[in-house]
Amino acid sequence: MCARARSAAVKARGTRHTRDVRITPAEVTDLHQVLADHSRYWGGRDLRSLHLLALVHEFGPTCLVARAEDGIHGYVMGFVTPTGTGYVHLVATRDDARGTGLGRRLYAEFAEAAQRHGARRLKAVTSVSNTGSIAFHRRLGFEAEVVADHHGPGRPMVVFRRPLPFTDR
């Protein structure tokens, strides 16, 4: 497929997903569905242990799913810290929803929910090898810093930060 045709296909797919997807607070059953379809969101990376039911139970207003007739297209799990940080624990889009702007939309909805709960800034963390996440967060206006030993000795991580309000760039 040539670049122009690929671009048109992504644009058409993005229009369909944008129009048909509703972002709502997550429920426990949503988390079970996401875990059942884990590879559609994360490929070969096994991140099931990071999908904590406690986040949905205790921080429901800041755990969001993007749902359509054919299931959950994406989700964000996060919370607001006592110091006013809206922390994004996980954000993912399903394999057929990538490139549609849904990740940006999930972040914007999370930012609004976090702000309503007192957040003044956003924060997220990823591995230094996750180049896709690093590029995505930079496109959203996050500052990225590699923090040595963030996850223990010899385990650096990239820490993203940006102030609120979240404006679409």
CATH (domain of 131): 3.40.630.30
Specify if 133 maps to a domain. Answer: yes
Specify if 36 maps to a domain. Answer: yes
Give the closest residue to 142 by CA, choosing from 162, 112, 120, 114: 162
Specify if 168 maps to a domain. Answer: no
Looking at the 3D structure of the chain, how many domains does it have?
Answer: 1
**Domain encompassing residue 120:** 3-163
> Does residue 56 contact residue 72 with C-beta atoms inside 8 Å?
no
Specify if 169 maps to a domain. Answer: no
Determine phi and psi for 145, rounding to 5 degrees: -135, 130
Specify if 101 maps to a domain. Answer: yes
This prediction's pTM: 0.86
Q: pLDDT per residue over 13-55, tens digit each? A: 444 445 689 999 999 999 999 999 999 999 999 999 999 999 9
